[in-house]
Amino acid sequence: MIRTASVIGGGPAGLMAAETLAARGIAVTVHDQMPSVGRKLLMAGRGGLNLTHAEPLPVFLSRYGSARSWLEPVITAFPPRALIAWCNGLGQATFTGTSARVFPVAMKASPLLRAWLGRLAGLGVRFAPRHRWSGWDGSALVFATPQGAVRAEPDATILALGGASWPRLGSDAAWIGFLVRDVAPFRPANCGFLVSWSPHFRDRFAGRPLKRLALRFGPDQVRGEAMVTHAGIEGGAVYALSARLRDAIEAEGSAVLLVDLRPDLDRAALADRLGGPRRGQSLSNTLRKQAGLSPEAIGLVQESLHAGSDQSDLAALIKALPLRLLAPAPIERAISSAGGVRLDAMDENLMLRDRPGVFLAGEMLDWEAPTGGYLLQACFSTGVAAARGALRWGG
């Protein structure tokens, strides 16, 4: 029977594990290296906090790709409807958006986190901020704190240390150096990409949106928006294709994304419009008036022409503008990371095979998923699973 537990990492996965254990009467301490918990959750709240997704469960599960086989029982045991009920139970109403994405009505994380921390305090959970876990000394956990080294010897430990994106929010993946050997290298996921813009294009358009476009890579096509950045391109539509683009760049050195700047018009209709009289108009006026392009889209067409694209079939260029992506943008700015502790390192309780009593949860595990609420759902569900695993193991 376990009586005490240390949860290391106060993100959604760790806090969910803490709640599950404390609700069963375990004395839980949440250690985090940051001065406060839930910093990445709060950051996710800036985009509205897409908690989960309302599509049918089999479709939902397919979003986890090769990790589906082991995540399926984990998510089925704490599925999207359980997460929504949990959120509602904390006084946070939710709604389902047009794309079936689920958000709290407040469209941010702070009220949810505040209510959650209140509940955890009520369950007797202790918080140990500014406790940087640095490994074990024998069976004792060792933390570096402003007051010096601190040790703890709980009956069970849950590690929920996060992935490797946005390290300044706490998840710096420094544990890779000492935890287990069975770790798939971290790579950016749901990330932007680097493009070699001309100085003129970069100066004029960095920070500007490319609205209502469609992006195509191989068999995948997605409609949405993107953002020109100083170093390349990012945004929802890019993130949706980012796993395949990243893998292609790793294999081939670069990848060509096809941008459709007028997805609502077919090529023939566009050619018709562009075939009309030009009456001495400049190219950019033609693109604006006849093709209805925004200044950013016109800039992209001109950038492509300067790089050698064929001007004789403008309609074809507008429908499939080739954009060469050179590398993923740095992981420091990615929404999430791929890679992490491999499934083989753990048993069916998410317990480390070579460290009995140590359970793992959240983005530090080797799975990836697109945006759409799949990231948080898997973090919450693995948090529940790791805690239940500890309870089962502890008898």
- Least separation in angstroms between residue 174's CB and ligand FAD is 6
160/387 with CB nearer ligand FAD: 160
Asked if 29 and 125 touch (Cβ cutoff 8 Å), the reply is yes
- Least separation in angstroms between residue 346's CB and ligand FAD is 15
Q: Cα 298 to chain center, whole Å?
A: 31
Alpha helix ranges (H) inside the chain: 12-22, 39-45, 57-62, 68-77, 80-89, 110-122, 199-205, 236-252, 267-274, 283-289, 295-306, 314-319, 374-393
Lay out the site mask for ligand FAD across 125-154 (x = CB under 6 A, - = otherwise).
------xxx---------------------
- Least separation in angstroms between residue 344's CB and ligand FAD is 20
Instruction: Tell me how far apart the alpha carbons of residues 46 and 208 are, in angstroms, rounded to a whole number.
Output: 19
Instruction: Tell me how far apart the alpha carbons of residues 393 and 113 are, in angstroms, rounded to a whole number.
Output: 29
- The reply to whether 197 sits near ligand FAD by the rule CB under 6 A is no
Instruction: Tell me how far apart the alpha carbons of residues 275 and 260 are, in angstroms, rounded to a whole number.
Output: 19
According to CB under 6 A, which residues from 267 to 306 bind ligand FAD? none
22/41 with CB nearer ligand FAD: 41
* Interface pick for ligand FAD out of 5, 18, 26, 34 (rule CB under 6 A): 34
111/263 with CB nearer ligand FAD: 111
Q: How far apart are the first and last CA of the chain?
A: 5
Residue 50: which of 236, 244, 191 has the closest Cα? 236
Q: Which stretch binds ligand FAD (CB under 6 A): 38-46, 235-243, 248-256, 347-355?
A: 38-46
Instruction: Tell me how far apart the alpha carbons of residues 277 and 38 are, in angstroms, rounded to a whole number.
Output: 59
Centre a 10 Å sphere on the Cβ of residue 144 and count the other Cβ atoms it contains. Answer: 14
Lay out the site mask for ligand FAD across 156-195 (x = CB under 6 A, - = otherwise).
----xxx--xx---xx--xx--------------------
According to CB under 6 A, which residues from 4 to 33 bind ligand FAD? 8-14, 31-33
- The reply to whether 40 sits near ligand FAD by the rule CB under 6 A is yes
- Least separation in angstroms between residue 109's CB and ligand FAD is 9
- The reply to whether 373 sits near ligand FAD by the rule CB under 6 A is yes
According to CB under 6 A, which residues from 326 to 365 bind ligand FAD? 335-336, 362-363
Instruction: Tell me how far apart the alpha carbons of residues 26 and 393 are, in angstroms, rounded to a whole number.
Output: 14
103/217 with CB nearer ligand FAD: 103
Residue 255: which of 308, 193, 305 has the closest Cα? 193
- Least separation in angstroms between residue 233's CB and ligand FAD is 17
According to CB under 6 A, which residues from 50 to 79 bind ligand FAD? 50
Instruction: Tell me how far apart the alpha carbons of residues 307 and 187 are, in angstroms, rounded to a whole number.
Output: 30
β-strand pairing of 132-137 with 126-128? unpaired
For residue 296, the number of C-alpha atoms closer than 13 Å in the C-beta half-sphere is 19
Which positions lie near ligand FAD, rule CB under 6 A? 8-14, 31-34, 37, 39-41, 43-44, 47, 49-50, 131-133, 160-162, 165-166, 170-171, 174-175, 335-336, 362-363, 373, 375-376, 379
